[in-house]
Amino acid sequence: MAYNSRFAVAIHTLSLLDSTEGRITSELIAGSVNTNPVVIRRMISLLTKAGILRTQPGVAGAQLTRPSSEITLLDVYRAVQNDSRDDLFAIHENPNPNCDIGRNIQQELEQVFARAQRAMEGELEQITLRQVTTDLQQMEEIRQTISRQG
């Protein structure tokens, strides 16, 4: 799964867990995400390793380890990052060292991309899972109101 997709699937999974009473299975989550339950189980494993979720052997489903108001999207982002290759932007390899631009582009882009990465992470740190879940619930209420009126 592509990195950006992993992040979105993680937020989707956590939003479902936050908005549902009790435990829900990976099959139910997979139905909402429209993916295979194995993908969800892998996601749950990453989120468990990061301390965001807890699971119990022999018991289906997962639970948040702390209130959703204490889980930031930066926590989720970091949980699903594979490694440093998952930076926001990648720099192409092997530019021409005989070119004025080619021999300097990687160093310049590393600085620019690092600033962009820090800015994005700063934004994600300000948004909690609770905010996302609340927004989703409000969107659904509006959709249902419009549906009843139309």
Contact 29, 18 (CB under 8 A): no
State pTM to two decimals: 0.85
∠15-16-19 over CA atoms, to 5°? 85
Mean pLDDT by 10 residues, the chain (150 residues): 76 96 89 95 95 89 94 96 67 90 93 93 97 96 88
Whole-number pLDDT of residue 84: 52
Q: How many CB atoms lie within 10 A of CB 30?
A: 19
Residue matched to tokens 């310049």: 108
Q: Which of 19, 64, 60, 67 is nearest to 41 (CA)?
A: 60
Whole-number pLDDT of residue 59: 83
